[in-house]
Amino acid sequence: MKLNGLRSRLAAGDTALVATLQLARSGDVARIFARAGFDALVLDAEHNLIGADAIGELLLAALDAGIAPLVRLPDAAPGPIGQALSAGALGVVIPRVEDAAQAEAIVRAARFAPAGRRPLPPVFPHFRRAPIGQADAVAALAAETLVVAIIETQRGVVNAESIAAVPGVDVLFLGASDLTVDLGLTGAKDDPAVWDAARALAEACGAAGKVAGMGGITEEAHFARAKALGMRWISAAHDATLLQSAATDRARLLRSL
Protein backbone atom coordinates (compact mmCIF):
# COMPACT_ATOMS: atom_id res chain seq x y z
CA MET A 1 0.00 0.00 0.00
CA LYS A 2 1.44 3.37 -1.03
CA LEU A 3 1.16 6.00 1.68
CA ASN A 4 2.83 9.07 0.20
CA GLY A 5 5.83 8.14 -1.92
CA LEU A 6 8.09 11.04 -0.89
CA ARG A 7 10.96 8.75 0.06
CA SER A 8 10.92 7.04 -3.33
CA ARG A 9 10.61 10.40 -5.12
CA LEU A 10 13.67 11.66 -3.28
CA ALA A 11 15.54 8.51 -4.27
CA ALA A 12 14.60 9.26 -7.88
CA GLY A 13 16.13 12.73 -7.67
CA ASP A 14 13.16 14.93 -6.76
CA THR A 15 13.35 17.93 -4.43
CA ALA A 16 11.24 18.19 -1.27
CA LEU A 17 9.82 21.56 -0.26
CA VAL A 18 9.41 21.42 3.50
CA ALA A 19 7.30 23.59 5.80
CA THR A 20 7.76 23.64 9.57
CA LEU A 21 4.89 24.14 12.00
CA GLN A 22 5.42 25.98 15.27
CA LEU A 23 2.15 27.87 15.81
CA ALA A 24 -0.35 25.60 14.07
CA ARG A 25 -2.62 23.29 16.03
CA SER A 26 -5.39 22.71 13.47
CA GLY A 27 -5.41 20.02 10.82
CA ASP A 28 -6.54 22.61 8.28
CA VAL A 29 -2.99 23.96 8.24
CA ALA A 30 -1.78 20.67 6.79
CA ARG A 31 -4.38 20.97 4.05
CA ILE A 32 -3.30 24.56 3.30
CA PHE A 33 0.37 23.61 2.88
CA ALA A 34 -0.53 20.58 0.78
CA ARG A 35 -2.70 22.75 -1.48
CA ALA A 36 0.14 25.29 -1.74
CA GLY A 37 2.43 22.63 -3.20
CA PHE A 38 4.66 21.62 -0.30
CA ASP A 39 5.90 18.03 -0.09
CA ALA A 40 6.55 17.60 3.62
CA LEU A 41 5.35 19.06 6.89
CA VAL A 42 7.61 19.03 9.94
CA LEU A 43 5.88 19.34 13.31
CA ASP A 44 8.42 21.09 15.52
CA ALA A 45 8.35 19.47 18.95
CA GLU A 46 11.86 20.71 19.70
CA HIS A 47 11.24 24.46 19.83
CA ASN A 48 7.75 24.54 21.30
CA LEU A 49 5.37 22.66 23.59
CA ILE A 50 2.85 21.39 21.05
CA GLY A 51 0.64 18.81 22.74
CA ALA A 52 0.21 15.19 21.79
CA ASP A 53 -3.44 15.65 20.78
CA ALA A 54 -2.56 18.46 18.37
CA ILE A 55 0.31 16.43 16.93
CA GLY A 56 -2.02 13.50 16.36
CA GLU A 57 -4.58 15.67 14.56
CA LEU A 58 -1.93 17.31 12.37
CA LEU A 59 -0.35 13.96 11.46
CA LEU A 60 -3.65 12.45 10.34
CA ALA A 61 -4.71 15.60 8.47
CA ALA A 62 -1.39 15.63 6.63
CA LEU A 63 -1.75 11.97 5.65
CA ASP A 64 -5.24 12.65 4.32
CA ALA A 65 -4.05 15.74 2.42
CA GLY A 66 -1.16 13.90 0.76
CA ILE A 67 1.67 15.84 2.40
CA ALA A 68 4.26 13.74 4.24
CA PRO A 69 4.21 14.45 8.00
CA LEU A 70 7.39 14.26 10.07
CA VAL A 71 8.08 15.14 13.69
CA ARG A 72 11.14 17.10 14.81
CA LEU A 73 12.08 15.91 18.28
CA PRO A 74 14.28 17.57 20.93
CA ASP A 75 16.88 14.79 20.89
CA ALA A 76 17.59 11.23 19.80
CA ALA A 77 15.90 9.42 22.70
CA PRO A 78 14.40 6.21 21.24
CA GLY A 79 11.08 6.34 23.12
CA PRO A 80 9.76 9.58 21.58
CA ILE A 81 10.98 8.46 18.14
CA GLY A 82 8.86 5.32 18.40
CA GLN A 83 5.89 7.28 19.73
CA ALA A 84 5.97 9.80 16.86
CA LEU A 85 6.18 7.08 14.23
CA SER A 86 3.43 5.02 15.86
CA ALA A 87 1.18 8.10 16.00
CA GLY A 88 1.25 8.56 12.22
CA ALA A 89 4.51 10.30 11.34
CA LEU A 90 6.24 9.20 8.15
CA GLY A 91 9.58 10.26 9.50
CA VAL A 92 11.57 11.90 12.26
CA VAL A 93 13.90 14.88 12.21
CA ILE A 94 16.62 14.70 14.87
CA PRO A 95 18.81 17.67 15.86
CA ARG A 96 22.50 17.87 16.76
CA VAL A 97 23.69 14.67 15.10
CA GLU A 98 27.47 14.75 15.37
CA ASP A 99 28.79 11.29 14.58
CA ALA A 100 27.97 7.95 13.01
CA ALA A 101 27.25 6.28 16.35
CA GLN A 102 24.45 8.77 17.06
CA ALA A 103 23.06 8.25 13.56
CA GLU A 104 23.11 4.48 14.01
CA ALA A 105 21.16 4.79 17.29
CA ILE A 106 18.53 6.95 15.57
CA VAL A 107 18.16 4.40 12.78
CA ARG A 108 17.71 1.59 15.31
CA ALA A 109 14.87 3.53 16.96
CA ALA A 110 13.19 4.43 13.65
CA ARG A 111 13.44 1.17 11.68
CA PHE A 112 11.62 -2.09 12.20
CA ALA A 113 13.59 -5.28 12.83
CA PRO A 114 15.95 -6.54 11.62
CA ALA A 115 17.32 -3.06 10.75
CA GLY A 116 16.20 -1.61 14.07
CA ARG A 117 13.94 -1.82 17.11
CA ARG A 118 10.97 0.32 16.16
CA PRO A 119 7.93 -0.87 18.15
CA LEU A 120 5.00 -2.49 16.40
CA PRO A 121 1.81 -0.65 17.47
CA PRO A 122 -1.55 -2.40 17.86
CA VAL A 123 -3.13 0.08 15.39
CA PHE A 124 -1.58 1.85 12.42
CA PRO A 125 -3.14 5.34 12.05
CA HIS A 126 -1.15 5.82 8.83
CA PHE A 127 -3.73 3.73 6.96
CA ARG A 128 -6.74 5.72 8.19
CA ARG A 129 -8.36 2.69 9.81
CA ALA A 130 -8.28 0.65 6.62
CA PRO A 131 -7.84 -3.05 7.45
CA ILE A 132 -4.25 -4.11 6.91
CA GLY A 133 -2.17 -7.00 8.18
CA GLN A 134 0.89 -6.33 10.27
CA ALA A 135 3.28 -7.70 7.66
CA ASP A 136 1.82 -5.46 4.94
CA ALA A 137 1.82 -2.45 7.27
CA VAL A 138 5.45 -2.95 8.22
CA ALA A 139 6.48 -3.33 4.58
CA ALA A 140 4.62 -0.15 3.57
CA LEU A 141 6.00 1.88 6.46
CA ALA A 142 9.53 0.60 5.93
CA ALA A 143 9.34 1.90 2.37
CA GLU A 144 7.96 5.30 3.43
CA THR A 145 9.68 6.27 6.69
CA LEU A 146 12.32 9.00 6.46
CA VAL A 147 15.18 9.54 8.88
CA VAL A 148 16.47 13.11 8.74
CA ALA A 149 19.66 13.97 10.65
CA ILE A 150 20.26 17.65 11.37
CA ILE A 151 23.91 18.69 11.15
CA GLU A 152 24.34 21.94 13.06
CA THR A 153 27.79 21.87 14.66
CA GLN A 154 31.35 21.92 13.37
CA ARG A 155 31.83 18.39 14.69
CA GLY A 156 28.82 17.22 12.73
CA VAL A 157 30.17 18.79 9.56
CA VAL A 158 33.57 17.14 10.06
CA ASN A 159 31.82 13.78 10.46
CA ALA A 160 29.29 14.32 7.67
CA GLU A 161 30.84 11.66 5.45
CA SER A 162 30.61 8.92 8.07
CA ILE A 163 27.10 10.00 9.11
CA ALA A 164 25.91 9.93 5.50
CA ALA A 165 27.34 6.43 5.12
CA VAL A 166 25.09 5.02 7.87
CA PRO A 167 22.45 2.71 6.33
CA GLY A 168 18.96 3.88 7.14
CA VAL A 169 19.74 7.60 7.20
CA ASP A 170 17.93 9.29 4.31
CA VAL A 171 18.67 13.00 4.65
CA LEU A 172 21.47 15.10 6.11
CA PHE A 173 20.11 18.55 6.81
CA LEU A 174 22.37 21.52 7.52
CA GLY A 175 20.88 23.79 10.19
CA ALA A 176 22.45 27.09 9.24
CA SER A 177 21.22 29.08 12.24
CA ASP A 178 22.65 26.82 14.93
CA LEU A 179 25.79 26.27 12.88
CA THR A 180 26.50 30.01 12.88
CA VAL A 181 26.22 29.97 16.68
CA ASP A 182 28.62 27.02 16.94
CA LEU A 183 31.03 28.86 14.63
CA GLY A 184 30.86 32.00 16.77
CA LEU A 185 29.21 33.84 13.88
CA THR A 186 25.63 34.07 15.13
CA GLY A 187 23.26 34.92 12.29
CA ALA A 188 26.02 35.40 9.69
CA LYS A 189 24.43 33.27 6.96
CA ASP A 190 26.67 34.82 4.26
CA ASP A 191 29.90 33.85 5.98
CA PRO A 192 32.10 31.59 3.81
CA ALA A 193 32.40 29.08 6.68
CA VAL A 194 28.66 28.35 6.48
CA TRP A 195 28.83 27.67 2.76
CA ASP A 196 32.00 25.63 3.09
CA ALA A 197 30.04 23.45 5.51
CA ALA A 198 27.11 23.28 3.10
CA ARG A 199 29.41 22.18 0.30
CA ALA A 200 31.06 19.53 2.48
CA LEU A 201 27.68 18.14 3.50
CA ALA A 202 26.41 18.09 -0.08
CA GLU A 203 29.53 16.26 -1.23
CA ALA A 204 29.24 13.72 1.60
CA CYS A 205 25.63 13.02 0.66
CA GLY A 206 26.48 12.75 -3.01
CA ALA A 207 29.18 10.18 -2.30
CA ALA A 208 26.83 8.11 -0.11
CA GLY A 209 23.75 8.41 -2.32
CA LYS A 210 21.85 10.34 0.35
CA VAL A 211 19.80 13.53 0.15
CA ALA A 212 21.36 16.81 1.27
CA GLY A 213 19.24 19.56 2.73
CA MET A 214 19.47 23.01 4.27
CA GLY A 215 17.39 25.28 6.47
CA GLY A 216 17.71 28.35 8.61
CA ILE A 217 17.86 30.49 5.48
CA THR A 218 15.20 32.86 4.19
CA GLU A 219 16.75 34.95 1.40
CA GLU A 220 16.20 34.03 -2.24
CA ALA A 221 19.95 34.19 -2.92
CA HIS A 222 20.62 31.69 -0.16
CA PHE A 223 17.99 29.27 -1.46
CA ALA A 224 19.47 29.55 -4.96
CA ARG A 225 22.94 28.90 -3.61
CA ALA A 226 21.77 25.86 -1.65
CA LYS A 227 20.01 24.41 -4.70
CA ALA A 228 23.12 25.00 -6.81
CA LEU A 229 25.09 22.88 -4.32
CA GLY A 230 22.61 20.05 -4.78
CA MET A 231 20.44 20.54 -1.72
CA ARG A 232 17.13 18.72 -2.30
CA TRP A 233 15.53 18.85 1.17
CA ILE A 234 14.68 22.53 1.33
CA SER A 235 13.29 23.92 4.57
CA ALA A 236 11.33 26.62 2.81
CA ALA A 237 9.24 28.25 5.54
CA HIS A 238 7.87 28.27 9.07
CA ASP A 239 4.21 28.93 9.64
CA ALA A 240 5.11 31.76 12.05
CA THR A 241 7.40 33.57 9.61
CA LEU A 242 4.98 33.12 6.71
CA LEU A 243 2.12 34.57 8.74
CA GLN A 244 4.27 37.47 9.94
CA SER A 245 5.48 38.23 6.43
CA ALA A 246 2.04 38.06 4.83
CA ALA A 247 0.45 40.14 7.60
CA THR A 248 3.17 42.78 7.34
CA ASP A 249 2.84 43.00 3.55
CA ARG A 250 -0.93 43.31 3.74
CA ALA A 251 -0.83 46.01 6.43
CA ARG A 252 1.80 47.98 4.48
CA LEU A 253 -0.29 47.74 1.30
CA LEU A 254 -3.49 48.94 2.95
CA ARG A 255 -1.83 51.80 4.80
CA SER A 256 -0.26 53.00 1.56
CA LEU A 257 -3.64 53.42 -0.20
Active site residues: 47
| Phi, psi (degrees; rounded to nearest 5) at 128 | 50, 45
The whole-angstrom separation of Cα 92 and Cα 109 is 10
How far apart CA 67 and CA 251 sit, in angstroms, is 31
Region at 210 (left for phi over 0; alpha for psi -120 to 50; beta for the rest): beta
The beta strands (E) that lie in 96-185 are given as 146-151, 171-175
Separation of alpha carbons 60 and 123, rounded Å: 13
Q: What is the rounded distance in angstroms from the CA atom of residue 127 to the CA atom of residue 236?
A: 28
The dihedrals phi and psi of 41, each to the nearest 5 degrees, come to -125, 120
d(CA 134, CA 38): 30
Closest to 172 in 3D by CA, of 141, 142, 215:
215
Report phi then psi at 184, rounded to 5. 75, 25
Upper half-sphere CA count for residue 78 (Cβ side, 13 Å) = 15
**Three-state DSSP class for 236?**
strand
